[in-house]
Every structure is written in C-alpha cells, then in structure tokens.
Homo-oligomer: A and B are copies of this chain.
C-alpha cells in the first residue's frame, strides 16, 4: 500500500495546478483567466487533432503525456508570461527544476524517473516529439488571442516578431500550420492587436 499511497498523494497534489492562473483569457467563461490544468487538457487534445500536419514521425501518445505534465512544475514555480524578460525567464527555469524534483519526487521511484525524463525532454526540445509538443503549446494562445481581440498580446503590447520567434518550431515541423500562423499574425497586425515590429 506504500506505493499506492505515494501515487495518491501525487494525484491529490495535482489539484493545485487548478489554482495556477495564466495570462490567457477564457472567452466562453466571462473572460476570466485560464488555469494551467484546463490549458494542459486543451493542448493535449489539440496535439491529437493536429498530428497529421507533422511532417516527421511523431509518437502522439508521448506528445500528449508531455503536454499533460509539462506545466505541473508551476504548482511551485507559478506561471510566467511567455514574453517576460530574459532574466525573469532564466530565474523561472531554475525554480521549475527544483519544482520538478519535489513534485515528481512524490511518486514511487520508477514513475518519478519516467515523469522527470519526459518533462526534461519537453523543456530541452531536442526530440521531434518534444518539438511538436512545444509547437502545439504555443499555437493555442494564438488561436485564443485571434478570437478575443488580441487577448494577452494586446494587453501586454506584444510585437509580431516575438510571436513569430515563439512559433518557429512549426516552420520545418508542420509547414502548413506555420503558413497559417504567419497569416494570422499579419491579420493581428492590421487589427492593431500586435505591434508591427
């Protein structure tokens, strides 16, 4: 029962991700802030639906698992806006590493290692699966902002070049999605939702 108790403690710990709020807004729920748990659900399904656009072979089950766990570290480290300063982002990276050890460390040894490895793989973005996962994580805020008058971009005065840089993984990995993103970014500029820089 000791193994089971560890697993149940971890499962209960996960509840806390529902209290971590991001910069994205939920248009269908009175434009309240989105939390990282529901965001993780949304991008896992998004990856499944858009998998056909990856030009390299993607293991979609691994991608979905990565996306389900990638934000768990925010329970300790909090969420940081994607377009924060480089100093803040570097500091955040350290916090997240410590968080991963503590939170995944609640699990029995074998599962701890497996979750930790999957999370590190996502962070490093060196494998095809991790790159596709990251690309999907980044395309969803674009879809949300485009249907919400610029959403978090407009509120934070974000530039076109920042959004393109952030979505660059799509360029070689899913060119059809990259074309879509580029068109949307241009549209956002004409609408005044992104700075033309």
| Chain A 1-37 interface 0/1 with B at a Cβ cutoff of 8 Å (1 = within) | 1001001101110111111000000111100001101
Q: Does A92 contact B (CB under 8 A)?
A: no
With both chains docked as a complex, state the minimum distance between the C-beta of A154 and any C-beta of chain B, in angstroms: 18
Chain A contact residues: over half helix, strand or loop, or mixed? helix
Q: Does A94 contact B (CB under 8 A)?
A: no
With both chains docked as a complex, state the minimum distance between the C-beta of A149 and any C-beta of chain B, in angstroms: 14
Q: Which residues of B contact A111 (CB under 8 A)?
A: 49
In this complex, what residue of B is CB-closest to A19? B29
- Please judge, given known A-B contacts A28-B15, A28-B16, A29-B19, whether A68 and B49 are in contact too, CB under 8 Å: no
In this complex, what residue of B is CB-closest to A147? B12
With both chains docked as a complex, state the minimum distance between the C-beta of A36 and any C-beta of chain B, in angstroms: 9
- Please judge, given known A-B contacts A143-B8, A180-B4, whether A27 and B15 are in contact too, CB under 8 Å: yes
Tally of this chain's copies? 2
- Please judge, given known A-B contacts A4-B180, A49-B111, whether A143 and B27 are in contact too, CB under 8 Å: no
With both chains docked as a complex, state the minimum distance between the C-beta of A116 and any C-beta of chain B, in angstroms: 14
User: B28 near A41 (CB under 8 angstroms)?
Assistant: no
Give Cα A144 to B144, complex, Å. 31
Give Cα A170 to B84, complex, Å. 46
User: B7 near A49 (CB under 8 angstroms)?
Assistant: yes
- Please judge, given known A-B contacts A7-B49, A8-B143, A49-B11, whether A37 and B41 are in contact too, CB under 8 Å: yes
Give Cα A46 to B12, complex, Å. 10
Residues of A within 8 A of B (CB): 1, 4, 7-8, 10-12, 14-19, 26-29, 34-35, 37-38, 40-42, 44-46, 48-50, 53, 61, 64-65, 68-69, 107, 111, 140, 143-144, 147, 176-177, 180
Question: What are the 9 closest A-B residue pairs judged by CB atoms, nearest first?
Answer: A41-B41, A19-B29, A37-B38, A61-B61, A38-B38, A16-B28, A19-B28, A18-B26, A18-B38
